[in-house]
Amino acid sequence: MKRLYLWLISMLSGVLLALAWPAHGFTPLVFVALFPLFWVEDYILERQQEYDRHQAARKALRISPKLKAYIDHILQKLPVSKKTDGNKILPVLNGVPRYNRISGDAPESTLPKRTRYHLFFYSFSAFLVWNVLTTWWIWNSTPAAVLAFVLNALLMALVFTLFHYSCRYFFKKGMRWILLFVYWLGFEYFHHNWDVSWPWLTLGNAFAPRPQWVQWYEITGTLGGSLWILGCNVALLYWFKAWRAQKRGMPIHSENRLRLSLRGKLLLFCGLVIVPAGLSMLRFATYQEKGRPVEVVAVQPNIDPYVEQYTLSPRQATERMLRLAQSQMTPQTRFIVTPESMIQENIWENQLPYSPSVKQIQDFLQEWPNAQLIAGISSYSHVRPEDSTMQGVRRLRRAPDSEKRFYRAHNTIIALSANADMPIPMHHKCKLVPGVEIMPYINRLKFLENLAIDLGGTVGTLGIDPGPTVFVSESPDRCRVIGGSYAGSYYSEPSKDAPLAGKTSQDGEFRFADLICYESVYGDYVAACVREGAELLFVSTNDGWWKDTPGHRQHASYARLRAIENRRDVARAANTGISCFIDQKGRVYQATPYWEPACIRQTLYANDKLSIYAQYGDILGRCCLPLSLFFILLTFVSRIIKRR
């Protein structure tokens, strides 16, 4: 087959994946989207195996020129009728043609072409098309988005090519797709947990608009969805190859150990699609909301991050937010959730109680003493010289003794109440956006710090909490945090009486985790917050820099998966939209229009029961990653042994 056709077939997978992705539309396409790429890989593997058989035969049957001349001399003396039989004097090994092929006289075009590196470029094209068509909106912020597209596609293509390469050495053909499952799930888990993490295109995220199909994410998380997609596409490939073999009059069982008829393989594909979805729908219909009711207000102030964020005064921005909140407040309201960077001041954390915006909010809460307001800020903290090697530490250059003065910048969430004497609890964003809030491996590559992309907030590598932080609202006028780098406030010691995850809260006490923007895309991180004791999930984000593109819609839909995985209600406050509430089954309520001021109120349920996924996290990923490393090592060892 011509290479152009293989390119086009491969890129068809990228187009189908993009068409199946949230905000584009037709989710069922994901069950067939990878089939074209898988077929190309299988076709190339067959060509390589044919080539390897020829090479083995040529090596096994080395015919000297003198012997070949002697055989030719004998054949010339045979009658014409016997020449055909004479041509079969030399044995045929593994289907290798006559001796003149083996001895090297055949034209090179009659031998299979070596295609060892072709698959990488085919798969790279497919994944690049998928990345560009799905996340093109990153271009709105910076032309450097091209690097993100290329890097992500490159990593995916390397994983897929490595799977193909490994299959040639030690995996039998009928079982080799298991290796793909291990490699791909291991890659997705790794891609969630390094400095250049980008979990946006985890295959399991494709089901975000269809929560009724994946209620079993409470067991497996999104990696279970990735496995489902891979398995269905492999089953479709098996059926297609059997159908093609039958059309050609060939046996349909010769390629694998799956001894099923053509109809059986089609039923296998349909069963892999229908059975998990059917079981999920049954769970969706029977699951009941759990927990204690609590009233929550979510505010969408709609501040343009490119214009108003720099022209509105901090007081005006806070007034707009409080005015919207006022329209939905009741005496029963316990929490007011506002967006990321809602307070338009850059504040030193030891000066928080004296901030005009903080005082303005506390004055507002005097009218609603039963409520607490959760707000985002850009904050700074002093760092001792002995801690200057920590991530995100910067030198305070304007200070007279700048060589000894260090600080860190943070993307921070604080909880405020009417009680101005309450220490202000806070959470520093842990999962940072690569290239915006963190430059990869900045301690080793210091020159990258100046390349950070400015998206209207704090830029450069930020300081983080070393672990998940959970707010414990003990009463309307008292709140503290557990987990993270500290508990209580910026000057308190770690709490020794932090409640255990799953422990029933006291009357009037609620525990919640506030996920800042990108944090809500990480299933394993959110599960860790729930293990710390979170009964509710809040999402504070500013998606305005993406403008009116699929980006903010994709981001909003991913929160539905976090609700299912952990069986937690979610309140989402987005600066420009989409703000909404999500129940424990992933259903969305009161979704607000994009780019309009809005405020919504809903009664949520604080659930303290742990799902299997919340309790154990990404088990699939933690198992597949070390297995992947083992198989990679085994591949190269097998290659060395076979060369000897």
| CA-closest candidate to residue 159, choices 640, 628, 639 | 628
pTM of the entire predicted model: 0.85
pLDDT of residue 23: 81
pLDDT tens, residue by residue, 72-128: 667 666 555 444 444 444 443 334 344 444 444 444 444 445 555 788 999 999 999
Tokens, residue 613: 């996924």
pLDDT tens, residue by residue, 394-423: 877 766 665 678 888 999 999 999 998 889
Higher pLDDT, 53 or 531: 531
Calpha distance 303→40 (Å, rounded): 48
Average pLDDT over residues 5-24: 92
Write the DSSP symbol of residue 459: -
Residue 335's DSSP bridge partners are 296, 372
| CA-closest candidate to residue 330, choices 600, 577, 512 | 600
pLDDT of residue 291: 94
pLDDT of residue 460: 62
The crossing angle, in degrees rounded to 10, of helices 118-135 and 145-170 is 140
Question: Checking DSSP bridges between strand 393-395 and strand 478-483, what pairing results, if any?
Answer: unpaired
pLDDT band at 464 (very low <50, low <70, confident <90, very high): confident
pLDDT tens, residue by residue, 585-622: 999 999 999 999 999 999 999 999 999 999 999 999 99
pLDDT band at 170 (very low <50, low <70, confident <90, very high): low
Average pLDDT over residues 14-37: 93
Give residues with Cβ within 8 angstroms of 616, minimum separation 6. Answer: none
User: SS3 for 18?
Assistant: helix
| CA-closest candidate to residue 472, choices 487, 457, 462 | 487
Tokens, residue 285: 């219909």
Write the DSSP symbol of residue 283: H
Question: Does the structure show a pLDDT above 80 at 387?
Answer: no
Q: Return phi, psi of residue 424, to 5°.
A: -85, 110
CB 413 within 8 A of CB 516: yes
pLDDT of residue 406: 85
User: SS3 for 489?
Assistant: coil
State the chain's mean pLDDT as an integer: 83
pLDDT of residue 445: 55
pLDDT of residue 75: 62
User: SS3 for 113?
Assistant: coil
Question: Does the structure show a pLDDT above 70 at 199?
Answer: yes
The crossing angle, in degrees rounded to 10, of helices 176-191 and 619-643 is 120
pLDDT tens, residue by residue, 491-533: 233 333 444 444 445 667 999 999 999 999 999 999 999 999 9
pLDDT > 70: percent of the chain: 78
Domain chopping of the chain, boundaries? 7-35+115-287+622-643, 50-110, 294-377+413-608
Higher pLDDT, 70 or 523: 523
User: SS3 for 92?
Assistant: coil
pLDDT of residue 403: 62
Higher pLDDT, 104 or 642: 642
pLDDT of residue 317: 92
Calpha distance 315→298 (Å, rounded): 20
The winner for highest mean pLDDT among 38-52, 64-78, 83-97, 456-470 is 38-52
Of 74-83, 143-152, 168-177, 202-211, the least confident: 74-83
pLDDT > 90: percent of the chain: 54
Q: Return phi, psi of residue 392, to 5°.
A: 80, 5
Question: Does the structure show a pLDDT above 90 at 2?
Answer: no
pLDDT of residue 641: 80
Domain 294-377+413-608 has CATH 3.60.110.10: yes
pLDDT tens, residue by residue, 301-343: 999 888 776 678 899 999 999 999 999 999 999 999 999 989 9
Positive/negative CA dihedral, 351, 355, 361, 366: positive
pLDDT of residue 55: 62
